Structure 1
Amino acid sequence: MSLKSCEKVEKSQVVLTIEVGSAEFEAAIEKAYQKMRKKINVPGFRPGKAPRKVIEGMYGAEVFFEEAINIAFPEAYEAAVKEQELQVVGYPAVEMVGECTKEGFTFKATTPVYPEVTLGEYKGLTAEKDEVKVGAADVNERLKQLQDRNTRLVSVDREAKEGDTAVIDFEGFLDGKPFDGGKGEGHNLELGSHSFVPGFEEQVVGMKAGEEKDLDITFPEDYHADLAGKAVVFKVKVNEVKAKEVPELDDEFAKDVSEFDTLKDLKADLKKQITEERQKDADRAFEDAVMEQAAANITAEIPDAMVENQCRQFLDNFKMQIAQQGIPYDQYMQITGMDEAKLLEDAKEPALRQVKMDLTVAAIIKAENLDATDDEVEAEYKKLAEQYNMDIEMVKKYLPAEQIKDQLVSQKAVAVVVDSANVVVKKASAKKTAKKTTKKADAETAEAEVETAETEAEKDAE
């Protein structure tokens, strides 16, 4: 292989002009012959036994050229890349230069390479950071969630009312004939959930266990074509009526759902949890904001291949998520009517942002001469082992040390930006916070929302 030229062109691409000489091409032709001879029929010879000269005599000296080029190209290209110490980020576009003869051939390979990155301002940046406040309404909302999770359904001997769950058998009839999808047995229907066709649940209200009833229902005009706007009859039997048994919010409840003996202690812990969660969210949002600024300040000609590779990575992650839900990817795409080409197109903008972020982090690592020691890597292994309750050797088996080291160094780069940044505290709004935490926020709740942690503590003490 002889590298004739290496020329940088736009968008971080390099054009390599490479010549494959006669000796190298002859070796490639011999390999092509060994690979292809079994597929070439030559009269008087068993398959694969005809000499190369005989085959070339019958079909021409060029019979093996195409396959030989395919064999010679990768080795020549990789040698040229290595010689120039190029950091390739995609596949090359190849074109032949002149004719291919037994003396060899010349080709051009245009390949995308890792771009040169010039850092802009990345220290002393400024961004807003949400003020973290947790009030009584936040704690009460979290407490309500605990209460809902521990609510039981118990059978009751009375008429069903909204909020109850009716266990029903049903069958729908159109013009006196059953229709597809209109039958169910032992179905748990929460009255007021609006999970059935409009008018259905309302007519089940008032029924008792063992009662049967015909429900006259007209499907909405926007229902699927077969039943849209049609009047049908559902024959319904109520097998059981269940009501919610909501636990009292008292010390006994605290003991049942937590490690605490009193409701007061449970509330204090919930407040601590919410505060920590919101602080993490605020920290993460601030980090994202300043890192996006740092990424916006870099100068780099980003090759399309890097963005396309990131788009593919996003798609692969999406496929993995779908698989984890137990749904075949092709089936999911068919059901949802989604198109892979559209997914990739939509991914271009976030992919470009991610590529710029990665380039920024790498450039900061280089500029700050950041590294991670063996002790830091070992400490991270120990932390992960404790976090996931795994043997440390098992963690090491699945996570190579180099990967851990890369993560630690990247974290240090982000810390350089975040730790030097200026924080503008974004005050929490009483009205906004109340809307976030309660659906029916009255004046008393809104006032409680803006109380400080110290005021809350004083109230608890009283």
Structure 2
Amino acid sequence: MKSAVETLNPTRVRLTVEVPFEELKPSLDAAYKKINQQVSVPGFRKGKIPARVIDQRFGRGAVLEEAVNDALPKFYTDAVNEGELNPLGQPEVDITELKDGEVLAFTAEVDIRPALEIPDFSGIEVTVDAVEVTDEDVDKAVEQLRDRFASTTPVERAAAEGDVVTIDLEAKVDGEVLEDGVAQGVSYTIGSGELLDGIDEAVTGLEAGSSATFTSELKGGSAEGREAEVKADVTAVAARELPELDDDFAQMASEFDTLEELRTDSRRRLEQQNQYEQATQAQEKVLDALLELVEVPVPEKLLEDEIGTRKHNLEHHQLGQMGMDLDGYLKIQGKTAEEFDAELREQAEKGIRTQFVLDELVNREKVSVGQEELTEHLMRRAQSSGMSPDQFAQAVVEGGQVPVLVGEVARGKALALVVEAATVKDTNGEIVDMDDEDAEDAEDGQATEAAGTDGPAAGEAAAGDADAAEKATEKAAESGQAGA
């Protein structure tokens, strides 16, 4: 077999392959055997029809077509390996010559991973928010905990902000009560903003047994996005009572004996949260700086596939689980379809560029992934997905997604090398030490996002196997995960 590679652009090549006819013999034999099992000829037992009879009765062309279809994948793979290419997706194959007994020639156009030159990145310097927790931050955290332990007492007076009212709701559109527009016994805290727009003003000042009607845009259901006339009947009013902020509250709401110990723990938790957010911010900024240093051409077909995968996952997995369609989502986001498509294209392109760059670093630095690292990553992914580690692991294995997770860990380690070489300062001018668990989690998250955390499909699409990734995403979604 002879093959040649023609570079069409930085991300696409054309393979020209010429195969001597004798190399088709194994596939020709297999073609005759297959046809033998499928057809019947009077005077011959099934499976024992001579090749010359098959040629006479069914045509040599049918045999050649079967043989070529069988042989092409192997010849294409051999040509890819000979050319040391990294193909993305399926090739477009065109048979240019087929002479019986002489030669088979074909061309194959396919997208490839571009060759990247990654320059010295040790000069990258980024600035992140300083980790600062004020007394007001601690007060707010303790107050939120206090709010969770509030009690309610029925009152015989008009409802005011902060009260909990029990209401029956009825929504009408164009004068007709919606089938899914009736709800009874709804508990609502006035001022929380957790129900319909306009309900706070409508029920404030009402006593039990009173009602009010107001107009509001529905946020869900069969008439989502439409204006509705909503009737609210108040059946009960209760005052919320907050517990005293003292040692008794600390003992009731936590494992601590004193309020001061509770406040100290709240400060510690806030500092940890801020450190994680700081680490995530550092990863994002270092990654953006790295991408600015590297010119990364993106195959157009791969980009379109990635956009389609992300949009499919959003519509059918994430929004579907919330009972919302894309139009409703765009309305809530205040975006037009054009703006959404532009943002989606930008995100998809950045995801592909990130994966190409980090994969190049993985290869260049010979980054390896140990079993313990893979297990830790799987545990984190399972936790973020809402699945148990066993469930998540089963979905990964059944979907053939283990290489995807390995790639995510490797990219995280590659990004860690860049962060380690970069200078990270906070807004106070202090050097930030990224060598901690929060930094590892943040790097892990950035690498996962590069592979498309809307589901593993994005990363796998870049590897040329979107179908397998899609199956894994669907399995995860069926188990309660909105996009693995």
TM-score, length of structure 1 as denominator length: 0.70
CA distance in 1, matches of 2:41, 2:155: 89
CA contact under 8 A between 1:17 and 1:109: conserved in structure 2?
Answer: yes
Find the counterpart in structure 1 of residue 261 from structure 2: 265
CA positional deviation for 1:341: 12
Unpaired runs of 5+ in structure 1?
Answer: 429-462
Find the counterpart in structure 1 of residue 288 from structure 2: 292
**Could you say what secondary structure the match of 1:89 adopts?**
strand
Pairing 1:31–2:37 present: no
**Could you say what secondary structure the match of 2:143 adopts?**
helix
Find the counterpart in structure 1 of residue 427 from structure 2: 426
Find the counterpart in structure 1 of residue 90 from structure 2: 91
Find the counterpart in structure 1 of residue 435 from structure 2: none
Find the counterpart in structure 1 of residue 347 from structure 2: 350
CA positional deviation for 1:297: 1.2
Unpaired runs of 5+ in structure 2?
Answer: 430-484
Count of aligned residue pairs for this structure pair: 415
CA distance in 2, matches of 1:384, 1:27: 44
CA distance in 1, matches of 2:33, 2:402: 43
CA distance in 1, matches of 2:313, 2:225: 39
**Could you say what secondary structure the match of 2:110 adopts?**
strand
Find the counterpart in structure 2 of residue 279 from structure 1: 275
How has the CA–CA distance of structure 1 residues 243 and 268 changed in structure 2, closer, same or farther, with 3 Å as cutoff? same
Matched to 1:359, the amino acid is F
CA distance in 1, matches of 2:224, 2:392: 56
TM alignment of 1:77-116, pairs within 5 A: 77-116=76-115
How has the CA–CA distance of structure 1 residues 168 and 282 changed in structure 2, closer, same or farther, with 3 Å as cutoff? closer
Deviations 1:117-137 (A, max 9, x none): 111231121111212221111
CA distance in 2, matches of 1:155, 1:229: 33
TM alignment of 1:144-159, pairs within 5 A: 144-159=143-158
TM alignment of 1:119-268, pairs within 5 A: 119-169=118-168, 180-181=179-180, 183-192=182-191, 195-196=195-196, 198=198, 202=202, 205-208=205-208, 211=209, 213=210, 215=212, 217=213, 219=215, 234=231, 236=233, 238-268=234-264
Matched to 2:266, the amino acid is L
CA positional deviation for 1:66: 2.9
**Could you say what secondary structure the match of 1:154 adopts?**
strand
CA contact under 8 A between 1:381 and 1:395: conserved in structure 2?
Answer: no
CA distance in 2, matches of 1:18, 1:183: 68
CA distance in 2, matches of 1:17, 1:177: 68
CA positional deviation for 1:361: 2.8
Matched to 2:16, the amino acid is T
CA distance in 2, matches of 1:369, 1:57: 58
CA distance in 1, matches of 2:352, 2:111: 14
Deviations 1:349-404 (A, max 9, x none): 223323332333334345545556x6xx5477589889999x99999997999888
CA contact under 8 A between 2:202 and 2:214: conserved in structure 1?
Answer: no
Deviations 1:301-354 (A, max 9, x none): 44345545654664576479529x8468xx855875899999887533223323
CA contact under 8 A between 1:19 and 1:104: conserved in structure 2?
Answer: yes
TM-score, length of structure 2 as denominator length: 0.68
Q: Kindly report the root-mean-square deviation, in angstroms, between the aligned alpha carbons of the 2 structures.
A: 4.9
CA distance in 2, matches of 1:145, 1:169: 28
User: Which fold has the larger relative contact order, with Cα–Cα distance below 8 Å and residues 6 or more apart in sequence?
Assistant: 1
CA contact under 8 A between 2:190 and 2:200: conserved in structure 1?
Answer: no
How has the CA–CA distance of structure 1 residues 301 and 404 changed in structure 2, closer, same or farther, with 3 Å as cutoff? closer
CA contact under 8 A between 2:166 and 2:187: conserved in structure 1?
Answer: yes
**Could you say what secondary structure the match of 2:90 adopts?**
coil
Percent of counterpart pairs with the same letter?
A: 25
**Could you say what secondary structure the match of 1:116 adopts?**
coil
CA contact under 8 A between 2:95 and 2:106: conserved in structure 1?
Answer: yes
CA distance in 2, matches of 1:176, 1:381: 58
Larger Rg: 1
**Could you say what secondary structure the match of 2:287 adopts?**
helix
Matched to 1:294, the amino acid is L
Deviations 1:16-73 (A, max 9, x none): 2222332343443443344456666767889888655444324432133333322121
CA distance in 2, matches of 1:287, 1:172: 47
CA distance in 1, matches of 2:224, 2:273: 48
CA contact under 8 A between 1:87 and 1:113: conserved in structure 2?
Answer: yes
CA distance in 2, matches of 1:180, 1:412: 53
TM alignment of 1:336-375, pairs within 5 A: 346-368=343-365, 370=367
